[in-house]
Amino acid sequence: MKLRSRIARLEIVAATAVALTGVGLAAGTANAASAPAPIKLTSAQCPADISSGQHSGCVTELQELLNKNGAHIAVDGDFGPATLAAVKSYQSGHGLSVDGIVGPDTKAALDGTSTPPPPTGGGQSKVVDFARAIESGKAERGWGGGRVPYGWDGGHTASPGPSPADCAADGGDQACYNATAHHTLGHNGQISVDCSGFVRWVYSLAYGRDVFGPDGTSGQIAKTHRVSSPAAGDLVFFGSNAGSPEHVGIYIGGGKMIDALDTGTYVETDSVSTGGRLIGYYRF
């Protein structure tokens, strides 16, 4: 009788444990299933800034987009510490302000379709505004957002905008290799722009059409005229002479330009003096 009683008690304990485990699993499933339905980040239903402590379908959408960009967080609609860390990591890797707040710029980068309103003013001022927007990582036509790397021949496909780099890794004029970058940027096939590809893209945005086409620096200098007093938005060319320019940047004043300089760099602001031998300033 004692043995049977002990067995009976063990069976009761085991059954209770299984039952409790089942309850726990059911609760976990319910929590996962209770995540609010995703809401597009740029819709009117989402607040201008999505931040810690919020629980909504906007957060669900945010978490799904973060996971598509390499995060590994629970999709539960709760903006908790894990989501905050994932947002900051994404912002850091895409040239955005690392504040953990999902505002218009971070939304635009994550969404991939939302773009900032076009700047106002003439072509020259729009050139500068678009160049600065791209440098800061904002989404523009042909680019979902984030910093844009340099890559040989990037930006020279049928339509303006970043495209796969086409370069060799063993040196020469089309070299991808950069000792500092260790191939992390500008490698063959990476979506990117080279110097003239960047200029083509910016000017197409500013003027609403493909001003320069897929031509490189030689074609661009041929479609502009030299000026003695440069203004922001002009092009600055470098090389041995006007017949064979080797680099081009967008002049922004104060001896500075925004350009795609070399393998291992992003679109950035550089001193005009870093471009090499100056040919001159040219205006479209």
DSSP string across 163-174: EE---BSSSSTT
The band of 4, judged by pLDDT with boundaries at 50, 70 and 90, is very low
Window from 51-65, 161-175, 204-218 with minimum mean pLDDT: 161-175
Pairing of strands 225-227, 245-253: unpaired
CATH of span 123-283? 3.90.1720.10
Residue pLDDT, tens place only, 214-230: 989 999 999 999 999 99
CA–CA separation, 42 vs 12, rounded Å?
Answer: 55
pTM of the predicted structure, to 2 decimals? 0.57
Buried b vs exposed e over 170-196: b needs ≥16 C-beta within 10 Å?
eeeeeebbbeebeeebbbbebbbbbbb
Is the pLDDT confidence value at 142 over 60?
yes
The residue ranges of every structural domain in the chain are 35-114, 123-283
* Position 192 pLDDT exceeds 80: yes
Structural contact between residues 247 and 260, judged by C-beta atoms closer than 8 angstroms: no
Residue-level pLDDT at 111: 74
For residue 164, report the phi and psi dihedrals to the nearest 5 degrees: -60, 135
How buried is residue 14: exposed, middle or buried, by Cβ count under 10 Å (0-12/13-18/19+)? exposed
Task: Identify the pLDDT of residue 177.
Answer: 55
DSSP 274: G
Per-residue DSSP letter, 193: B
Q: Which tokens hold the place of 84?
A: 């905050």
Residue 20 scores a pLDDT above 80? no
The confidence score (pLDDT) of residue 157 equals 92
Same fold, 35-114 and 123-283: no
CATH number of the domain at 35-114, please? 1.10.101.10
pLDDT confidence of residue 41: 87
Highest mean pLDDT among 22-31, 73-82, 181-190, 260-269: 73-82
For residue 180 the two structure tokens come to: 């500092």
